[in-house]
Amino acid sequence: MLTDKTSRSMVMIACAFLIYFVSHAKDSRDPQPPMDKKTMNEMAGTWTDPKGPKGNHIIFKYTKIKDEPGDILGGLVAAYDKDGELNDIFGFKETPFSFGYKSHAPDVVLFVNYGERKQMIMKLTATDHEHMRIRMLSRNLATQKEDLSTNPINEPPVDLVREKEADVNLPKYQ
C-alpha cells in the first residue's frame, strides 16, 4: 500500500519527467529560423498585375502596435499588425485582410484572413526585388480542413510588379 509520502514522491517524479519531456521535445515540423527584417520589408508594399484590370493591386503592410505605458522590457519588444488589401486579383474587390506566416523558406506561405471568418493560403515567390509571383493554394480552409492535396485551387499564379510610387509613405518593419 502507498503512503502519502510515497504518493507525493511519485507525483513529483512524474511532474519532473513531464517538465523534462516538454522542455526537450522537438517540434515535428521542419524548424525554420525566424524571418529576417529584410525579407519582411521586401514583401511589404503595393504590388500590381500589369496584365490585369486598371487599379488592381495587393498591399502588404506592417503597422506597429502602439506601446503601452509600462510595456515589457522597456519597449525593446515591438508587435506589428500584418494586414493589407486585395483588389481585382483572384476575383476580390477592395477586400481588406490580415495575414500570418505559415512558412518562409524557400517561398513565403501566408495564412490570410478576410471577410467574415474566411481564410485562404497564399504562396509568394520573389523573382527579384521588383517582381513576385503569387498563387492561391487554398480558399475557405474551414470547409477544406487544410487538405490541399484533395481540394486544390485551379487558379493560375499571378505575376506582380512593385508599384514604387504607392509605397512612399508605407511604414517599414523595424
Query: Per-residue pLDDT averaged across 123-140, rounded?
Result: 84
Could you tell me the sign of the dihedral formed by the alpha carbons of 153, 159, 163, 164, in that order? positive
Residues 11-48 pLDDT 10s: 777 767 667 666 655 544 445 566 667 777 778 889 99
User: Mean pLDDT across the chain, nearest whole number?
Assistant: 75
User: Coil, helix or strand for 68?
Assistant: coil
Would you state the pLDDT for residue 147?
A: 47
Torsion of CA 146, 147, 152, 158, to 10 degrees: 40
Mean pLDDT is lowest, of 50-54, 99-103, 113-117, 162-166, for 162-166
Pairing mode of beta strands 95-103, 158-162: unpaired
Please count the residues of the chain: 174
Q: What is the DSSP letter of 155?
A: P
Residue 19 Cα to chain centre, angstroms: 30
Which pLDDT band, with edges at 50, 70 and 90, does 58 fall under? very high
Instruction: Answer yes or no: is pLDDT of 149 > 50.
Output: no
Q: Which residue has the higher pLDDT, 73 or 113?
A: 113
Grid coordinates representing 41 are: 520589408
Residues with Cβ within 8 Å of 62's Cβ and at least 6 positions away in sequence, in order, are 40, 44, 80, 81, 82, 171, 172, 173
Q: For the chain, list the domains and their CATH numbers.
A: 37-167 (2.40.128)
- Mean pLDDT value of segment 115-137: 86
> Looking at residues 54-60, what average pLDDT do you find?
91
> Which grid cell is 141?
480552409
Secondary structure tally for the chain: helices H, strands E: 3, 8
